[in-house]
Amino acid sequence: MTTITISRQTGSGGDEIAHRLCEILGYRAFDKHMLAQAAALSGFSEQEVIDYSEENYKVRSFLDRLFNRSVPLATMRVWEEDTGGILTAEDLKLSEEMALKLVQKAIHSAHHTGKLVIVGRGGQSILKDVTDVLHVRIEAPLEDRIQRVKEQNRQVRRSFNASIDLRREAQNWIVRRDEASADYLKRFYNIDWADPMLYHVVINTGKLSLEQAARTIASMAQVSGTQIETAEAESKQN
């Protein structure tokens, strides 16, 4: 496999697994640098690129959905060169649709270079019909996810807030993030992100450790990659 996409519930350990996969396989993580490259090819300033993923997507209000409103995300500068070689700048309002197309373009471009791990961003839909992509879903019991997010919050703050406050905060964060991710994928790709039919494998990190999960996925990617290479070699011989 040249690319692995990872869809994950908040607090399931999906981001940590993606990082470990890159270490095991020598893969790259899809990042803002790749988005910047796609932005430059589209005429946008690299410094102004917006990573329009589930992480910065907010669930639209009822009125926005009712009237199908598209709120501009930002104003971006586009440089155009005329026939005389003179560059002129034009400020454009970056819509959700424009930002989404930029992310899609970047993912397709990065996939062609191979050895890539894509976390979120609709990768399971954008690359759904590509044969050399392994689609993975990471889930975990809610209580496990709450404990993981609580620990992350505690480490970031280095504080000793009451345990009940940390738990409530972690659970609220999980609900908001999962709701945003589900809404993002339903709205832009018309898929249910929890549908197991979208993935080659669904892993429960309540049953496997993050290390076990990462190594399981890595083994699947390596086996599938070998099978694809063999099939391609046989096809060329015929």
In the predicted model, what is the mean pLDDT of the chain?
A: 78
Domains of the chain, first to last: 3-224 (3.40.50.300)
Give the integer Cα–Cα distance in Å for 17 and 212.
9
Give the integer Cα–Cα distance in Å for 99 and 73.
8
Q: How confident is the model at residue 62 (pLDDT cuts 50, 70, 90)?
A: very low
Return the minimum-mean-pLDDT range out of 16-20, 59-63, 101-105, 158-162. 59-63
Identify the pLDDT of residue 2.
81
Identify the pLDDT of residue 31.
79
Instruction: Give the global pTM.
Output: 0.75
Mean pLDDT confidence for 191-213: 96
| pLDDT tens digits along 162-184 | 566 788 888 999 999 999 899 88
Q: How confident is the model at residue 47 (pLDDT cuts 50, 70, 90)?
A: very low
Mean pLDDT confidence for 181-190: 90
| pLDDT tens digits along 113-136 | 889 999 998 999 999 989 899 999
Mean pLDDT confidence for 84-102: 65
Mean pLDDT confidence for 151-159: 70
Return the minimum-mean-pLDDT range out of 4-13, 53-62, 139-148, 195-204. 53-62
Give the integer Cα–Cα distance in Å for 3 and 134.
6
CB 213: neighbour CB atoms within 10 A? 25
Mean pLDDT confidence for 97-103: 78
Q: Which pair of structure tokens corresponds to residue 179?
A: 């709701």
| pLDDT tens digits along 14-31 | 999 999 999 999 999 987
| Buried-state track 103-133, b at ≥16 Cβ within 10 A, e below 16 | bbbbbeebbeeebbbbbbbbbbbbbeeeebb
Residue scoring higher pLDDT (83 or 189)? 189
Tell me: pLDDT of 9 over 90: yes
